[in-house]
């Protein structure tokens, strides 16, 4: 793998992570990558939206869908804007199609699981409820981190692709949360 001076950080991290590979860890990382994929998130997202609609929380369902779909659209726009070529994948994985920056798995998973955490935390009213939602939020953050790490471990993204995906997802989440507060301040689900 060739690394120019602008990619030295990315390549050093990729190689460091790859040096600690094992068959068991590879299986875990493939699983983590799967829970950040569209194959997993689309059906789960439909279930989440259906759950909110069934509970009579139309605005929450709409906000969740807009947040996740918006993250996907933003990811595609950024990939086209940056045109960053993907690194060579490890473990003889097929080369993913599309551009590398930002990591779509990281960005959309951060928006998806992050939105779930924010929406759940907003419902906590009691001490026990707050503890439960904080625990769930911590688990979702761990899932987000694991998905990003899996993309680096499997060699399909540079670390800066994952960090860029996280940063853009957080900006998008804050924008969506701000819009919700601004537009729906006087309404409750």
Catalytic positions, written as ranges: 105, 157
Q: What whole-number distance in Å separates Cα of residue 71 and Cα of residue 107?
A: 7
Tokens 């690194």: give the residue: 87
- Is the separation of the CB atoms in 111 and 168 below 8 Å? no
């Amino acid at each position: 793998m060739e690394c120019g001076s602008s990619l030295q950080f990315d390549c050093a991290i990729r190689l460091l992570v790859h040096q600690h590979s094992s068959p068991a860890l590879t299986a875990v990382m493939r699983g983590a990558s799967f829970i950040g994929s569209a194959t997993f998130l689309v059906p789960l997202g439909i279930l989440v939206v259906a759950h909110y609609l069934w509970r009579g929380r139309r605005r929450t369902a709409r906000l969740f869908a807009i947040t996740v779909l918006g993250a996907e659209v933003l990811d595609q726009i950024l990939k086209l804007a940056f045109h960053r070529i993907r690194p060579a994948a490890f473990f003889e994985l097929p080369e993913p199609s599309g551009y590398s920056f930002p990591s779509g798995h990281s960005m959309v998973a951060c928006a998806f699981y992050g939105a779930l955490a924010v929406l759940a935390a907003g419902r906590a009213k009691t001490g026990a409820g707050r503890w439960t939602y904080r625990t769930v939020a911590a688990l979702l953050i761990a899932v987000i981190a694991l998905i990003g790490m899996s993309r680096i471990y499997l060699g399909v993204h540079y670390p800066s692709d994952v960090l860029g995906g996280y940063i853009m997802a957080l900006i998008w989440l804050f924008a969506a949360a701000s819009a919700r507060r601004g537009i729906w301040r006087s309404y409750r689900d």
